[in-house]
């Protein structure tokens, strides 16, 4: 194990796979000599050169189309959009091409591509650079969607995503880039489709993913003084969803609060609530609650943005309303 930041860990995952497999390459805006908008690709251009670390034009459509075409003929591209918010420009390439090509060709074409998408609020980057849109992506059959929280998972899920023969959307929250944690050295794979119980508990299940896992862990620490033992389930993967881990935790604990940074209406928390209502209703000793952002664009104003993002206090208030 080594101590690494989240951004160092995800970069290490890319570098290790590029050293191992010459078919892996990276493409996106400013991923080359500049080293990425948030430093995610520093040093990679110097090691692998312009043919494998490709600076692209400012065209999300071109970047994703490059990935689809390259993956379909046997390479393993990692394509990056600078912000998840820009994905709308290239949705046809993702949901009509990448997600459907293997299905429509009867499995004769593989699509081993990774789409990297930085997301999230907290930097006064305003409404067009701060969104969490994982629920939008979970609605597309044919792609896998991961959203790791820990540096270890940032590395392990990157390696798993690159090796997968299906399109994987890898969402990285910008607020996590500086998070430090233990990361296994060498070849390390974190499974796609398997949630992680980040903290054991007995009285209540807090369910989250991405940066909000940290808020849930803080809330669980604070609940100790109220003699409430909270279990924290980190989904890690949005699609395919690990329903078994969620249901087993709620069966043990009897209460559930789901926390997401995304806006409330149509958010992925609603899908988890539906799973609990349909498959775990008998386990529940109270209503399923959601802590989310409000249904509004992300504000630029720092005080308004702070009010927009779910907080530990909001999680605690939801938990205490169940008792």
User: Using CA atoms, how far apart are residues 183 and 16, in angstroms rounded to an integer?
Assistant: 14
C-beta separation of 52 from 26 below 8 A: yes
The C-alpha angle 6, 150, 198, rounded to 5 degrees, equals 170
How far apart are alpha carbons 167 and 96 in whole angstroms?
A: 12
Work out the number of other CB atoms within 10 angstroms of the CB of residue 213. 28
Asked if 36 and 42 touch (Cβ cutoff 8 Å), the reply is yes
By the 8 A CB rule, do 204 and 220 touch? no
> What is the Cα–Cα distance from 138 to 161, expressed in whole angstroms?
16
d(CA 123, CA 211): 14
CA-wise closest residue to 315 among 212, 226, 225 = 212
Tell me how far CA of residue 42 lies from CA of 26, 214, 252, in angstroms.
Answer: 12, 26, 44
Considering the candidates 4, 129, 173, 290, report the single residue annotated as catalytic: 129
What is d(CA 284, CA 278) in angstroms, rounded to the nearest whole number?
11
173 part of the active site: no
Q: For residues 206 and 317, what is the distance between their CA atoms, to the nearest angstrom?
A: 13
The residues carrying an active-site annotation are 129
């Amino acid at each position: 194990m080594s101590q690494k930041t989240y951004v160092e860990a995800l970069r290490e995952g890319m570098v290790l796979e590029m050293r191992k497999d010459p078919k892996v390459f990276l493409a996106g805006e400013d991923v080359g000599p500049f080293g990425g908008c948030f430093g995610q690709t520093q040093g990679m251009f110097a090691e692998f050169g312009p043919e494998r670390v490709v600076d692209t034009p400012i065209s999300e459509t071109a970047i994703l189309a490059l990935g689809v075409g390259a993956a379909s003929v046997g390479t393993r591209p990692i394509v990056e959009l600078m912000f998840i918010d820009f994905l709308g420009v290239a949705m046809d390439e993702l949901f009509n091409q990448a997600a459907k090509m293997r299905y429509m060709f009867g499995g004769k074409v593989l699509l081993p591509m990774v789409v990297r998408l930085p997301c999230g609020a907290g930097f006064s980057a305003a409404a067009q650079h701060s969104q969490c849109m994982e629920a939008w992506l979970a609605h597309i059959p044919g792609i896998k969607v991961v959203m790791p929280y820990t540096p270890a998972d940032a590395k392990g899920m990157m390696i798993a995503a690159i090796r997968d023969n299906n399109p994987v959307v890898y969402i990285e929250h910008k607020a996590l880039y500086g998070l430090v944690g233990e990361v296994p050295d060498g070849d390390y794979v974190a499974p796609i489709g398997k949630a992680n119980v980040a903290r054991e508990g007995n009285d209540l299940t807090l369910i989250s993913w991405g940066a909000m896992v940290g808020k849930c862990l803080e809330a669980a620490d604070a609940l100790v003084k109220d003699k409430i033992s909270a279990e924290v389930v980190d989904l890690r993967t949005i699609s395919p969803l690990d329903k078994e881990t969620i249901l087993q935790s709620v069966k043990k604990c009897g209460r559930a609060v789901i926390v997401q940074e995304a806006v409330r209406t149509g958010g992925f928390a609603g899908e988890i609530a539906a799973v609990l209502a349909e498959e775990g209703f008998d386990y529940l000793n109270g209503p399923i609650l959601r802590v989310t952002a409000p249904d509004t664009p992300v504000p630029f104003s720092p005080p308004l943005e702070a009010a927009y993002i779910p907080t530990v206090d909001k999680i605690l208030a939801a938990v205490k309303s169940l008792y």
